[in-house]
A and B are shown apart, each in its own frame.
Chain A
Amino acid sequence: MDSSEKVILLVEDNPDDEALTLRALKKNNIMNEVVVARDGVEALDYLFGTGAHAGRDVTIQPQVVLLDLKLPKVDGLEVLRRIRADDRTRLQPVVVLTTSNEDSDIITSYKLGVNSYIRKPVDFAQFMEAVHHLGLYWLVLNISPPRLP
């Protein structure tokens, strides 16, 4: 399977951040399809093939979920909790990509079983670098859990 077939699910409600993240991915030559969910409900709909994404083949899951914490409707920590609670997505790699560096958020994320926690820097150059490492690690180096039968 070509790495470009691997989907990235970007859960982000802020359109500015969305565009900047997409730009950073593009500038780092990460050509994978990026599915954007703009709130927690949309993210869960995509992952579980419900709502707007009804009928999606849920045996194919994203290579990595980039999850913001502060989201409308269902917040990021709740999304993470539901991902870990469901057998279909229990092993799904999830990276929290957020502005918060509150200890409570970091601790809760890890308690809920996040794979990585990255704080979005203000400096775009630093953000570019973070996205570069992220892409290299999660899309190239890291081996995902095998697809569900």
Chain B
Amino acid sequence: MSLLASTRVINRRALLAFISILVAVVSAAVFTMLVLQRQYLQSEAREELKTEMGLLGDLTTDALIRSDYEAAEALIVQWVHRHDYILHITATMPNGFVLADEKKDIAPQMPLEVTRPVVFNGKPLMTIHVVGDYSFAESGYSSIIVHVSIVLFVAIFILGLMLWWVLQRTAIRPLEKQIMAREANEYELMRRTVELEIIVKELDSFSYSISHDLRAPLRAIDGYGHALAEDYSDVLDDTAHDYIARIRSAAQRMGVLIDDLLTLSRMTRHEFKSTDVDMSSLAHDALDRLTLAEPWRSVETTVEGNVRAKGDSSLLGVVIDNIIQNAWKYTSTVDHPLIEFGSREQDGETIYFVRDNGVGFDMQYADKLFKPFQRLHSPNEFSGSGIGLATVARIIQRHGGKIWAEGEKGKGATFSFTLSPAIPSQARNAHEIKAK
């Protein structure tokens, strides 16, 4: 679950970072707007104040020309008291005489200082210096900006929450579900792997004891049958000898059956090593062995050269051996036996085949051929345990291929198979999967 927790933390952090950046950007924008607005207000207020001061100058010019300074001062004081936002005024004559110095006892909120000379016919009459408070010009814009920014922050916060919620619903929760499902799958896979390993180990010890324990009594049956026949040959009549021979042959046959069954199970457990395999040479080897074992037989053989395959060479050796052995066996009763090995391409697949002109089989039993212990001939016709082709089929299955047989009674048989190169070798080594 640590993956889940860390995903959550990462998501939350990303969202927080996103919101913080948004807040920072909005804050900067609001701050800039406030500063710009204040600058604008100040310049507007300055202009207005200048105009007002011009009017004051006009108003006092007459009195100043008349040198009626008291009247001028009174006008100035009046003017100050008519204008709330003027806090302090000094009017200075060019000769340094302070005509008026009127100050209100109010602290300025947004101070603004303007100095303006009063001129008549190019002659300076006096200089007015005013300290005003231009907060009067604040027509509520600033508070609007502040309010809007507060609303914006709240909106960002709500949006963030909504985004988180939407993410949770649409992305995080489904992802969490997927992750949880995957973790559950992994656990299940691990459990099954362990189970499989136990089964494989059991199977190993099972086939080991079959190989060892089942064969021991058979050896005793055969051995003591042999001893009986040998040591008591003078007391036993022909029928008794026949019975002993039958007992022994049955024991031996069972020995072969056990061995073949073990081979079959071994083919399933065999570790799969995929290499480039020379099928032609496998076919040659198989035919050479058979010729060596039965040199008196004359069989015409054709092996296509350089037929190659991708697969496990020892398993494919077992396949070729078995199929060619079959062909060898079932051509033993025909006059001019022929065995052919080759390959052909069809639909992008390579089909390998072994063809013979032996006794063949009835197609209606074709599906029985590849099942263990299924035989189409009686043991006194042709010997065999009926496991060879089952082994072959299992090997082909491990290669991801198909095997099939075509034949006609008395006219021979063709065994064809494909090997799929698409399946990775790991998939075939199911018993090798190790639990982590």
- Count: A-B pairs, CB below 8 Å: 58
Q: Is A28 an interface residue (CB 8 A)?
A: no
Asked whether A17 lies within 8 Å of B252 as measured between CB atoms, the reply is no
Asked whether A122 lies within 8 Å of B215 as measured between CB atoms, the reply is yes
Interface residues of A in 112-149 (CB under 8 A from B): 120-125, 127
Identify the interface centre among A23, A122, A124: most chain B CB within 10 Å of its CB. Answer: A122
Q: Is B251 an interface residue (CB 8 A)?
A: yes
Nearest chain A CB to B124's CB is how many angstroms away?
122
Q: Is A102 an interface residue (CB 8 A)?
A: yes
Interface residues of B in 193-218 (CB under 8 A from A): 208, 211-212, 215-218
Q: Given known contacts A122-B251, A122-B252, is B211 in contact with A16 (CB within 8 Å)?
A: no
Q: Given known contacts A122-B252, A123-B255, is B208 in contact with A16 (CB within 8 Å)?
A: no
Asked whether B208 lies within 8 Å of A102 as measured between CB atoms, the reply is yes
Number of interface residues of B (CB under 8 A): 21
Nearest chain A CB to B67's CB is how many angstroms away?
133
B-side contacts of A23, CB under 8 Å? 223, 227
Q: Is B428 an interface residue (CB 8 A)?
A: no
Secondary structure call for the B interface: helix
Identify the interface centre among A102, A121, A124: most chain B CB within 10 Å of its CB. Answer: A124
Asked whether A20 lies within 8 Å of B216 as measured between CB atoms, the reply is no
Asked whether B216 lies within 8 Å of A124 as measured between CB atoms, the reply is no
Asked whether B220 lies within 8 Å of A99 as measured between CB atoms, the reply is no
Q: Given known contacts A14-B216, A16-B216, A122-B255, is B211 in contact with A127 (CB within 8 Å)?
A: no
Nearest chain B CB to A4's CB is how many angstroms away?
23
Nearest chain B CB to A66's CB is how many angstroms away?
15
Taken together as a complex, chains A and B put the C-alpha atoms of A101 and B255 apart, in Å, by 13
Q: Is B278 an interface residue (CB 8 A)?
A: no
Among residues of B, the one whose C-beta sits closest to the C-beta of A20 is B223
B-side contacts of A98, CB under 8 Å? 212
Q: Is B226 an interface residue (CB 8 A)?
A: yes
Asked whether A16 lies within 8 Å of B212 as measured between CB atoms, the reply is no
A-side contacts of B220, CB under 8 Å? 14, 16-17, 20
Q: Is B222 an interface residue (CB 8 A)?
A: yes
Range, interface on chain A: 10 to 19
Taken together as a complex, chains A and B put the C-alpha atoms of A100 and B210 apart, in Å, by 9
Asked whether B222 lies within 8 Å of A122 as measured between CB atoms, the reply is yes
B-side contacts of A20, CB under 8 Å? 219-220, 223-224, 227
Asked whether B216 lies within 8 Å of A17 as measured between CB atoms, the reply is yes
Asked whether A122 lies within 8 Å of B211 as measured between CB atoms, the reply is no
A-side contacts of B254, CB under 8 Å? 122
Asked whether A70 lies within 8 Å of B212 as measured between CB atoms, the reply is yes
Asked whether A99 lies within 8 Å of B211 as measured between CB atoms, the reply is yes
Taken together as a complex, chains A and B put the C-alpha atoms of A116 and B211 apart, in Å, by 20
A-side contacts of B218, CB under 8 Å? 122
Asked whether A122 lies within 8 Å of B227 as measured between CB atoms, the reply is no
Nearest chain A CB to B336's CB is how many angstroms away?
34
B-side contacts of A100, CB under 8 Å? 208, 211-212
Interface residues of B in 215-265 (CB under 8 A from A): 215-220, 222-227, 248, 251-252, 254-255, 259
Q: Given known contacts A23-B227, A99-B211, is B252 in contact with A123 (CB within 8 Å)?
A: yes
Asked whether A17 lies within 8 Å of B219 as measured between CB atoms, the reply is yes
Asked whether B223 lies within 8 Å of A127 as measured between CB atoms, the reply is yes
Among residues of B, the one whose C-beta sits closest to the C-beta of A23 is B227
B-side contacts of A120, CB under 8 Å? 215, 219
B-side contacts of A102, CB under 8 Å? 208, 211
Nearest chain B CB to A39's CB is how many angstroms away?
15
Asked whether A127 lies within 8 Å of B212 as measured between CB atoms, the reply is no
Nearest chain B CB to A64's CB is how many angstroms away?
21
Among residues of A, the one whose C-beta sits closest to the C-beta of B222 is A124
Nearest chain A CB to B229's CB is how many angstroms away?
10
Among residues of B, the one whose C-beta sits closest to the C-beta of A21 is B223
Nearest chain B CB to A140's CB is how many angstroms away?
24
B-side contacts of A127, CB under 8 Å? 219, 223
A-side contacts of B224, CB under 8 Å? 16, 20
A-side contacts of B255, CB under 8 Å? 121-123
A-side contacts of B212, CB under 8 Å? 70, 98-100
Known: A23-B223, A122-B251, A127-B223. 5 other contacts (CB 8 A): A14-B216, A17-B220, A20-B223, A123-B222, A127-B219
- What are 6 A-to-B residue pairs whose CB atoms are below 8 Å? A16-B219, A17-B216, A17-B219, A23-B223, A101-B259, A127-B219
